[in-house]
């Protein structure tokens, strides 16, 4: 069976949707539906954009890529039916750009929410706010770029003079690609320094780095997507590669679109991996807590045993302690009445029955003194 780019895209889409569903199941098991946070509510939105991206690619595959149609061909050689078909492909191209950008930036939003939870009480929380602002502002700007690059919007699929410039979308690649990489780097700058400083076994650090530092793979995918797409488009406009790239695209229209799908596929895997991990491992060090968000005072980072107060906790159950465990660092938001503690402290201890109240924390590890 010959290779088909469109088949590859649908296979990746199927795997990606399965990953989304697995994430929802994992989160429901750990925190319950009532414990869902912002990133969990972003997931259905991401699934919608992912579907729209593949539908638009299928339409372009079936109707052809308008970027390879010259104005003379469009008006002199095409009949009305062929022009309508080309216009449908052009409209699908706009939908593809909007859905692609919306999907990628929605996934970035998921990571922002995750890092917001993981940096409770840490100075890194400030950078999370800055990153969130940059991501939101860049998304608004990029959507405006896609819609306003050629005016009126219909030039993207009907104008004999706008077709080559507008539909090739070179400005989109020139702007969206670099901003995509910059925001990915900003997201990477949140967890990696904390992982490096944490006193964890090297194996644990490597696993956490892969899960939360998957942005490295995503950056590579972004670069490859932009590189191959621009090679095709420059060949279509200027014959940069003697038409070989364009000819390959004519024979297999989905080739131009496949790299965008590969990028979004990698993004789906990278963003959902940290939330799926608890479903296949009961390790305390990778549990995510949502139901009780603990505010840790700044000085707790520098103390051997720090206490964090949760304002909404019942009287006598508001204290929790942070301790260095043999193989993990975690803040356990487990409030447990225990008459043996006169101070009514809720000690840190893993409890399988309280999975929904566990969380990752990147607080530096310190040895605890058992004398207190």
Domains annotated for the chain, with CATH where assigned, are 5-281 (1.20.1070), 295-360 (no CATH)
CA-to-CA distance for 209 and 252, rounded, in angstroms? Answer: 38
Task: Quote the pLDDT of residue 164.
Answer: 58
Task: Quote the pLDDT of residue 179.
Answer: 95
**Residue range 21-26: mean pLDDT, rounded:** 94
- The reported pTM is 0.72
Strand pairing partners for 360? 330
Mean pLDDT of the chain: 71
CA-to-CA distance for 191 and 188, rounded, in angstroms? Answer: 6
Q: Are strands 330-332 and 319-322 parallel, antiparallel or unpaired?
A: unpaired
Residue 349 contacts residue 184 (beta carbons within 8 Å):
no
The more confidently predicted of residues 307 and 25 is 25
Task: Quote the pLDDT of residue 303.
Answer: 41
**Residue range 278-303: mean pLDDT, rounded:** 45
Distances, alpha carbon 313 to alpha carbons 295, 336, 356, in Å:
12, 11, 16
Residue 115 contacts residue 191 (beta carbons within 8 Å):
yes
């Amino acid at each position: 069976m010959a290779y088909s780019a469109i088949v590859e895209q649908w296979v990746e889409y199927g795997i990606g949707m399965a990953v989304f569903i697995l994430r929802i199941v994992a989160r429901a098991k750990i925190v319950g539906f009532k414990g869902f946070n912002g990133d969990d509510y972003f997931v259905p939105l991401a699934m919608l954009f992912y579907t729209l991206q593949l539908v638009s690619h299928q339409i372009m595959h079936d109707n052809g890529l308008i970027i390879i149609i010259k104005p003379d061909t469009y008006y002199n050689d095409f009949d009305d039916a062929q022009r309508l078909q080309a216009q449908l492909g052009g409209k699908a191209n706009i939908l593809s750009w909007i859905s692609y950008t919306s999907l990628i930036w929605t996934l970035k939003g998921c990571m922002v929410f995750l890092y917001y939870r993981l940096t409770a009480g840490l100075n890194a929380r400030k950078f999370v706010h800055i990153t969130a602002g940059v991501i939101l502002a860049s998304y608004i700007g990029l959507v405006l770029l896609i819609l306003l690059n050629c005016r009126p919007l219909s030039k993207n699929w009907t104008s004999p003079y706008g077709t080559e410039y507008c539909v090739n979308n070179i400005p989109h690649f020139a702007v969206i690609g670099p901003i995509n990489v910059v925001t990915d780097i900003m997201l990477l700058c949140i967890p990696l320094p904390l992982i490096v400083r944490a006193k964890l076994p090297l194996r644990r650090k490597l696993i956490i780095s892969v899960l939360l530092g998957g942005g490295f793979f995503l950056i590579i995918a972004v670069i490859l997507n932009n590189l191959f797409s621009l090679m095709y488009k420059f060949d279509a406009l200027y014959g940069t590669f003697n038409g070989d790239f364009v000819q390959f695209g004519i024979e297999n229209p989905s080739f131009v679109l496949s790299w965008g799908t590969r990028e979004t596929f990698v993004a789906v895997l990278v963003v959902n991996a940290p939330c799926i991990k608890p479903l296949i491992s009961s390790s305390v060090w990778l549990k995510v807590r949502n139901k009780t968000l603990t505010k840790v005072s700044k000085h707790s980072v520098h103390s051997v045993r720090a206490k964090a107060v949760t304002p909404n906790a019942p009287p006598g159950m508001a204290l929790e302690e942070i301790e260095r465990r043999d193989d993990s660092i975690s803040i356990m938001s487990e409030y447990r009445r225990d008459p043996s503690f006169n101070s009514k402290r809720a000690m840190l201890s893993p409890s399988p029955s309280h999975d929904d109240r566990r969380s990752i924390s990147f607080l530096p590890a310190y040895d605890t003194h058992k004398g207190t």
